[in-house]
């Protein structure tokens, strides 16, 4: 840089002609009005023309670091001036469909080449079939712990590719866990309960062509696992050992209570015990119990009552089982014929109990 060179300022708009120097770091830049502006030499760039705002910079004699700074400035200026170079930040709102405000999500496995089922690889997808965004974690069991295999956000009414795999890793995905949090963006919405489920994948299905069925999400056959449908999470297909232990302890407590206090005992003075075996008399709730579970519980009460009184000769016991479909009565009669055949039995008093009771006499 020498007297007479045309320069422009780096840190602000404008420039001028070099009129002189003050020491080794300051240059006097004379502008169009004749004013001399003291400026640090490092803040001035030599240009070819009088257009200080857009003139091309002489970089041949500049240090490399200063050259790179000029390139960055020129790039930024070009981007700012040219709309076609600007990054597109507009995101259209998510499309919603009628009936999509209930959560439905699926885990799908799609063969890459259905015609080569014995050799093909498979693709896993998370399908969000609702108007909500879903943030998911895709987990695999590692002993008693879990490992995140994939995670991410899935837009409403779209499907997300998770991974491609071959049969060598089937053992790794045999025990899967899925967690889902649902929400909407930039609008109000009904809150949904988080989904947290685990289940076992039958890996033998990946060897069978008929496993992969036509579906609503892909043009090719796929194996589809329902994670949540119409806001209802899938039924757990695995047993939590701690939960099972708690339920067994709770059942034992109920059994112990009923062992000392049967559902109903009356007419002790008449040497008659009456036990009502209706489920609503024996249990506070039957939630989570199948018909077989309830029947087994009723038969346990029946057997326990007889065993408690087996040494009381002449003791009469009436079991109220109800008419219904006769399943409980038939099971009781079967027990009396084969396990307790030493005791006599008959229909209990119709006047007292209608058609739904059996009387046993201990002998």
Look at residues 233, 248, 281 and tell me which one is the last residue of a structural domain: 233
Contact in structure between 332 and 321 (CB atoms under 8 Å): yes
Mean residue pLDDT of the chain comes to: 80
pLDDT top residue among 208 and 245: 208
165 and 266 fall within a common domain: no
138 and 64 fall within a common domain: no
Q: Say how far apart CA 52 and CA 44 lie, in whole Å.
A: 11
What's phi and psi for 27, nearest 5 deg? -115, 145
Look at residues 85, 115, 148 and tell me which one is the last residue of a structural domain: 85
130 and 189 fall within a common domain: yes
Q: Say how far apart CA 330 and CA 349 lie, in whole Å.
A: 18
- pLDDT of 168 > 90? The answer is no
Task: Say what the pLDDT of residue 110 is.
Answer: 94
Q: Say how far apart CA 261 and CA 284 lie, in whole Å.
A: 14
Here the tokens at position 327 are: 């399943």
pLDDT top residue among 295 and 69: 295
Question: What secondary structure does DSSP assign to 222-278, as a single string?
Answer: BEEEEEEETTEEPPP-S--HHHHHHHHHHHHHHHHHHHHS-S----GGGTEEEEE--
Name the residue range of residue 13's domain: 6-85
Looking at residues 263-268, what average pLDDT do you find? 45
73 and 116 fall within a common domain: no
Task: Say what the pLDDT of residue 75 is.
Answer: 61
223 and 268 fall within a common domain: no
122 and 228 fall within a common domain: yes
**Is residue 97 in some structural domain?**
no
Task: Say what the pLDDT of residue 353 is.
Answer: 75
Least confident of 2-6, 138-142, 206-210, 325-329: 325-329
Here the tokens at position 335 are: 């027990």
Task: Say what the pLDDT of residue 55 is.
Answer: 47
**Is residue 332 in some structural domain?**
yes
19 and 138 fall within a common domain: no
- CB count within 10 Å of CB 51 equals 12
Number of domains in the chain: 3
Here the tokens at position 88 are: 């597109």
Looking at residues 250-270, what average pLDDT do you find? 46
- Residue 76: in which H helix or E strand, if any? helix 64-81
114 and 12 fall within a common domain: no
> Residue 188's domain is classified under what CATH number?
2.60.40.1600
**Is residue 168 in some structural domain?**
yes
Q: Say how far apart CA 262 and CA 272 lie, in whole Å.
A: 13
Task: Say what the pLDDT of residue 30 is.
Answer: 87
pLDDT top residue among 34 and 110: 110
Looking at residues 111-117, what average pLDDT do you find? 89
In tens, the pLDDT along 73-110 reads: 556 555 555 566 666 665 566 778 888 899 999 999 99
End-to-end CA distance of the chain: 125
Task: Say what the pLDDT of residue 280 is.
Answer: 81
pTM of this prediction? 0.45
């Amino acid at each position: 840089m020498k007297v007479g060179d045309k320069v422009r300022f780096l840190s602000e708009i404008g420039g001028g002609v070099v009129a002189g120097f003050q020491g080794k770091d300051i240059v006097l830049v004379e502008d169009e009005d004749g004013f001399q502006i003291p400026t640090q030499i490092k803040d001035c760039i030599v240009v070819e023309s009088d257009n200080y705002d857009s003139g091309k910079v002489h970089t041949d004699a500049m240090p490399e670091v200063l050259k790179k700074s000029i390139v960055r400035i020129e790039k930024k200026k070009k981007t700012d001036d040219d709309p076609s170079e600007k990054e597109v930040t507009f995101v259209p709102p998510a499309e919603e469909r009628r009936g999509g405000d209930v959560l439905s999500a699926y885990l799908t496995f799609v063969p890459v080449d259905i015609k080569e089922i014995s050799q093909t690889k498979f693709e896993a997808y998370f399908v969000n079939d609702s108007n909500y965004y879903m943030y998911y974690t895709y987990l695999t069991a590692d002993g008693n712990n879990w490992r995140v295999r994939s995670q991410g956000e899935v837009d409403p009414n779209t499907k997300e590719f998770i991974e491609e795999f071959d049969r060598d890793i089937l053992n790794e995905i045999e025990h899967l866990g899925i967690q889902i949090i649902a929400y909407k963006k930039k609008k109000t919405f009904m809150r949904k309960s988080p989904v947290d489920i685990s289940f076992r994948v039958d890996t033998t299905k990946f060897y069978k062509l008929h496993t992969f069925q036509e579906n609503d999400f892909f043009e090719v056959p796929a194996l589809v696992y329902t994670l949540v449908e119409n806001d209802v999470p899938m039924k757990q297909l695995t047993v939590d050992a701690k939960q099972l232990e708690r339920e067994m302890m709770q059942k034992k407590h109920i059994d112990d209570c009923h062992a000392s206090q049967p559902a109903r005992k009356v007419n002790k003075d008449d040497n008659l015990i009456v036990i009502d075996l209706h489920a609503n008399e024996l249990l506070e709730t039957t939630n989570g119990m199948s018909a077989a579970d309830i029947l087994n519980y009723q038969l346990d009460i029946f057997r326990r009552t007889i065993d408690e009184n087996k040494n009381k000769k002449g003791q009469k016991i009436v079991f109220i089982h109800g008419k219904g479909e006769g399943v409980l009565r038939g099971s009781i009669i079967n027990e009396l014929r084969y396990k307790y055949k030493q005791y006599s039995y008959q229909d209990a008093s119709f006047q007292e109990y209608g058609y739904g009771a059996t009387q046993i006499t201990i002998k």
